[in-house]
Amino acid sequence: MPDRDPPDLGNPTDPAPSADAGMPTDAGQPTDLGFSGPASARVYDYSLGGKDNYGADRQAASEALGMHRVAHLLPRENRKFMRRAVRHLLDAGVRQFIDLGCGLPGKGNVHDLAHAADPDARVVYVDSDPVAVVHYQSLVHTVKGVAAVNGDARRPAEILESPEVTALIDFDLPVGVLMISMLDWIQDEDDPDAVVAAFRDALAPGGHLVICDFLSDHLTEADWAAHHDLTERYGIPLTFRSSQRFAGWFEGLDLVDPGLVPAPEWRPDRPYDPPSGWLMAGVGRKP
């Protein structure tokens, strides 16, 4: 399925709607939906040419694209890797998927790929952003075997034991756990290594862990300076980590060839631009 072209970056400062615009106000509904500033899922959506974003998101994305030499490559590197990885898992017989930090829906979502291979495949989307979850719930509410739940990956047990997840996912059978540009949002004080370990340990033999995230190995001083500036101004913290840290996340798993590589170099299925060098990707299989 073709990727969307990069967006026209004009008019990035259109005003965002108020926090209650068009949203339910019943008791128990979230009241702060993050419309007053940029949100990671909406920034990513804009970077892929989506429509579910607002002025603050477009402003943050535009500045990142202007300040970082390779930022325009990252959304498509990330998205294309996800699709190739999911197709590989399907070829390997996996029919259950948990997409952690799913963000907003786009073209070629996990359930689209899975159901093209097997209409009985099951997919659970998980995100801590209630707006992203509502978008997915609206999209899949009539789709068999698919659910979207609000959950924080920093609390793995709550996700793994939640009724919505256990109703669809049988952890005695192979599961594909997708962590696509998710771990960069988990700060070191929240122990991302323990987060990965919890989901990795829940896998039955034949299950797979899929990771694509920001790599620190090739950042220049100018890249670091621009990154810290954007973080301070927009409050969207991203953590870049070393290739050694990536390798530790796959402990006890068999890395699928070609191992840990720049995202475009993981089993490419068509010609691609030179890799940004900012995204490392890998897939591990539970023996």
| Residue 1, pLDDT above cutoff 50 | no
| Residue 18, pLDDT above cutoff 90 | no
Q: What percent of the chain has pLDDT over 90?
A: 62
Q: What is the pLDDT of residues 246-255, one digit of tens each?
A: 999 999 999 9
Q: What is the pLDDT of residue 219?
A: 85
H or E element that contains 97: strand 96-100
Tokens of 196: 């990965």
Q: What is the pLDDT of residue 238?
A: 79
Q: What percent of the chain has pLDDT over 70?
A: 73
| Residue 31, pLDDT above cutoff 50 | no
Tokens of 188: 């070191």
The better pLDDT of the pair 189, 54 is held by 189
**In contact, 80 and 270? CB cutoff 8 Å:** no
| Residue 139, pLDDT above cutoff 80 | yes
Write down how long the chain is. Answer: 287
Spatial separation of the C-alpha atoms in residues 258 and 54, rounded to whole Å: 39
Average of pLDDT values for 75-102?
96
Q: How many CB atoms lie within 10 A of CB 91?
A: 9
| Residue 169, pLDDT above cutoff 70 | yes
Q: What is the pLDDT of residue 85?
A: 98
- Give me the half-sphere count of Cα atoms (radius 13 Å) on the Cβ side of residue 14: 10
Q: What is the mean pLDDT of the chain?
A: 82
| Residue 38, pLDDT above cutoff 70 | no
Question: Residue 107's closest CA among 128, 83, 87, 124?
Answer: 83
In the CATH scheme, what is the code of domain 73-220+239-285? 3.40.50.150
- Identify whether 38 is preceded by a cis peptide bond (ω within 30 of 0): no
Spatial separation of the C-alpha atoms in residues 97 and 129, rounded to whole Å: 19
The residues spanned by each domain of the chain are 73-220+239-285
Spatial separation of the C-alpha atoms in residues 221 and 59, rounded to whole Å: 23
H or E element that contains 157: helix 156-160
Q: What is the pLDDT of residue 41?
A: 56
Highest-confidence range of 3-7, 73-77, 220-224, by mean pLDDT? 73-77
The better pLDDT of the pair 5, 228 is held by 228
Q: What is the pLDDT of residues 116-127, one digit of tens each?
A: 999 999 999 999
The better pLDDT of the pair 261, 103 is held by 261
Q: What is the pLDDT of residue 137?
A: 97
Average of pLDDT values for 202-222?
94
Q: Which residue has the tokens 């009539």?
A: 142
**In contact, 284 and 254? CB cutoff 8 Å:** yes
First to last CA, the chain: 31
Spatial separation of the C-alpha atoms in residues 257 and 284, rounded to whole Å: 9
